[in-house]
Amino acid sequence: MNFIELFSSINSSWVTFFIAMLPIAELRVAIPVAIEIYKLNPWWVFFVSIIGNMVPVTIILLLVPKIHNWLLKQKVIGKMFDYFLTRAENKFKNDFNKWGLVGLAIFVGIPLPMTGVWTGALAAFVFNIPFKKSWPTIFAGVIIAGIAVLLITLFAGASLRWLFGI
């Protein structure tokens, strides 16, 4: 069985869930794929994508504080981890200094590359934002991004179908 056969044999809701978990793709890719390719119900897609997007947040926020010193000591992984922490800090520093937790929600909520939950969760770690504050703040940003991507997908899909008759 090749990769495409394996991928196409998985339930489309699970595919949506797993795409939403992926760095860079997140729900920004999961929602359009699920609605336009799999033809799933937009509200179901929104729900599944939000949950899938929050899984890595929970893991990062709970696990990274416990293992970051060990990770930094590893040759290859340590360099990558340090790179991602530095990048998260540099991307989010101005927003955090100016806006605090609201800045974190806005940062995560802007549906652009490198502003998603992975970077937001690492930024929360770098700025020592406790789990009880960072998780709901990132969740709010995910809801904002999810609504934006859902509306863009629905509008763009309807517009393209109207324009090109597809």
Identify the pLDDT of residue 120.
Answer: 94
**SS3 state at 103:** helix
Say which residue, 17 or 94, is predicted with more confidence.
Answer: 17
pLDDT beyond 80 at 1: no
* pLDDT tens-digit readout, 63-81: 999 998 898 888 888 898 8
pLDDT of residue 5: 65
pLDDT beyond 90 at 54: yes
Question: How far, in Å, CA of 7 to CA of 52, rounded?
Answer: 17
Query: What sign does the dihedral 92-146-10-3 (CA atoms) show?
Result: negative
Contact 83, 69 (CB under 8 A): no
Contact between 134 and 124 (Cβ < 8 Å)? yes
Question: b/e map of 103-121 (b: 16 or more CB within 10 Å)?
Answer: bbbbbbbebeeebbbbbbb
